[in-house]
Structure 1
């Protein structure tokens, strides 16, 4: 059967062993000399050995006491280091926070929020991974990331999804195109043109596909790309019409294009996901709070 120890008794033993005085040990531990003697006696009774030679003139360690001293001092020092590290993490003076985010978020609003967080808590190391929503969730479930910033998360066991804002989609067309004078377009009409969007299989493409299907139309992706800057350049060169999330528009040069509203209001809810079956770190809580403060409703940039 494994022995159990009272930590106060071990710390008191170390104080006596280091000072070789019950009186000085009492001063160091802020307790009475009789309490020090009682704690040492309890530890000796627990171990079944004498830890000190006591005389009226001096206190010295026994061989058994010396053996315990070496091990106990290392163990307590290790505990003190861990305790200090945990205190710093609780105070956001240290720690690590890994965030997975869909590319449209990782390339737009998130770096600014991460920068503010870093200035507030420079001791916390931040790491960003930009991958699609499904991969974000898989990495979070595997414990590789602390938070996932994703879109339209379906109900999942042990995951909570906190909405941040709705991200509408818009149709980007060449300014010189016949549609360049328009302000909006229906999905049925848009389906008659060559379209470009995020790759098939992504959450955004699934949302787009469902919206078209609800209108009795089928979108055909003539070009697929993760990078919205690439998509806009392809629009400018006449390869088709681009379906672009609102959050990306403010970071893109669409001066040679016209941005049309989709009459059916195609969009997705962006939110932050976390595991409910794991204790959340102070850094994760602080970052979620900052996300909520810094992600107000978007306003589309319309040229």
Structure 2
């Protein structure tokens, strides 16, 4: 089934002549964009694009489709602008609190669509620890906060999930054996450990304590996840980090899944100030639509 995101992607691909750049423009992954284009062409019954090595061109019939899609989006934007003005959403300010690993990975894609639809509404992102974000939400210092592992029924929506993984030096004697089968927190607890916190209360030590375990040999404590991986690469110990924080270059590292799997969940929570803000409620509604479209 074709949705608005498909049509925006169609126009973005035509403009960029490249799926990767178009996917980034609309806040999708490259694989998701490729699947969406294939789905759209299947629904239409003809090719909109031809793929030639690294370049994508629009077919003759595709040019007509892109023109209609572009006109449709322009008219839709005009209708939305009228609706925003009528509801007092032409201007506004939303304070959104988050912590570093989410600010750099999840937020850009989530906010890009809203900023394009509501250019008069300013979204200010405040960065803090997970505990600080909780305090800011409780005190209505911010309208919205992205919190970790929220209690049931408290979240407006879940925006992401991240698995915890163990990181060993590739030269570690256990690395090859545990890479395939995984490792338990109990097996990790006695290892020479590099404790990375990411500026969060939920980290390797707190996960151990929740499981009734203690780290017996902490060699070093760092705030930055990437720094922990670099120290692991140098053979200074092992670390427990969220999978999304792993470096792109994993040479010298052995990444091992936990048994049983342990995940951290990110969710959007609204403060009392946010509940009475029309702009904030518009952002929440838009993020829900965006999330649904991404998973359709």
TM-score higher than 0.5 here?
yes
Which residues of 2 match residues 96-245 of structure 1 at below 5 A? 96-154=93-151, 160=155, 162-181=157-176, 182-183=178-179, 184-199=182-197, 202-205=200-203, 208-209=204-205, 211-213=207-209, 216-220=212-216, 221-245=218-242
SS at match of 2:214: coil
Give the CA deviation at 1:160: 4.9
The answer for the alignment partner of 2:244 in structure 1 is 247
Whole-angstrom CA distance in 1 between matches of 2:105 and 2:162: 13
Supply the RMSD in Å over aligned alpha carbons.
3.2
Q: Cα 1:197–1:295, aligned 2, differ >3 Å: closer, same or farther?
A: farther
C-alpha contact 1:146 1:284 (8 A) present in aligned 2: yes
Give the CA deviation at 1:292: 4.2
C-alpha contact 1:108 1:248 (8 A) present in aligned 2: no
Question: Can you list the C-alpha shifts for 1:141-189, whole angstroms capped at 9, x where unaligned?
Answer: 2222110101023589xx6564333322001122222233232111111
Is there any run of 5+ residues in structure 2 with no aligned partner, and where?
1-83
- How many correspondences in the alignment? 206
Q: What TM-score do you get using the length of structure 1 for normalisation? A: 0.58
C-alpha contact 1:196 1:240 (8 A) present in aligned 2: yes
Give the CA deviation at 1:89: 8.7
Is there any run of 5+ residues in structure 1 with no aligned partner, and where?
1-86, 297-303
Q: Does 1:283 align with 2:266?
A: no
**In structure 2, which of residues 240, 258, 261 is the aligned counterpart of residue 262 of structure 1?**
258
Whole-angstrom CA distance in 2 between matches of 1:194 and 1:292: 43
The answer for the alignment partner of 2:27 in structure 1 is none
Whole-angstrom CA distance in 2 between matches of 1:161 and 1:107: 21
C-alpha contact 2:195 2:205 (8 A) present in aligned 1: no
Whole-angstrom CA distance in 1 between matches of 2:199 and 2:226: 20
C-alpha contact 1:198 1:204 (8 A) present in aligned 2: no
C-alpha contact 2:198 2:225 (8 A) present in aligned 1: no
Q: Cα 1:217–1:140, aligned 2, differ >3 Å: closer, same or farther?
A: closer
C-alpha contact 2:195 2:240 (8 A) present in aligned 1: yes
